[in-house]
Amino acid sequence: MYFLLVRRRVNGVAIPSDQLKKIQPLRADIHIGDHHSEPLGRESTQAWVFNPTPGPDIIPRLHDAKVNGMAQLGMNINGIEEIDGVLYAQSWWCRAVGEYGN
């Protein structure tokens, strides 16, 4: 399902709300499912941006992903992302894409 995605943390540190407003969201086809997680070494609910071409994830996927808030126009997904072998907390604010793709 397509959303306008804003990553709310950098290396686990929350981005201040005044800066979040300036971030250009990523139009993303977000998928959520249970799969084996390499960094966690076990089954994990994961959220990722679907990439129709072979290659790495567009942005790091969330491991132990959990939708922790949802309303009429969007949702928030929390989880853990791996960057260069280090695990960090991450949160995605996902706004519904409008009828005309905006």
Q: What is the pLDDT of residues 70-93, one digit of tens each?
A: 998 899 999 999 999 999 999 999
Average pLDDT over residues 38-63: 95
By the 8 A CB rule, do 63 and 80 touch? yes
Q: What's the pLDDT band for 97 if we cut at 50, 70, 90?
A: confident
As a residue count, the chain comes to: 102
How many CB atoms sit inside 10 A of residue 91's CB? 18
Distance CA 7, CA 5 (A): 7
Instruction: Round to the nearest angstrom and report the end-to-end CA distance of the chain.
Output: 14
Q: 18: which DSSP letter? A: H
Q: How far apart are the C-alpha atoms of 49 and 94, rounded to whole Å?
A: 11
Is there a contact between 97 and 10 (Cβ–Cβ < 8 Å)?
Answer: no
Q: Give the whole-angstrom CA distance, residue 58 versus residue 68.
A: 23
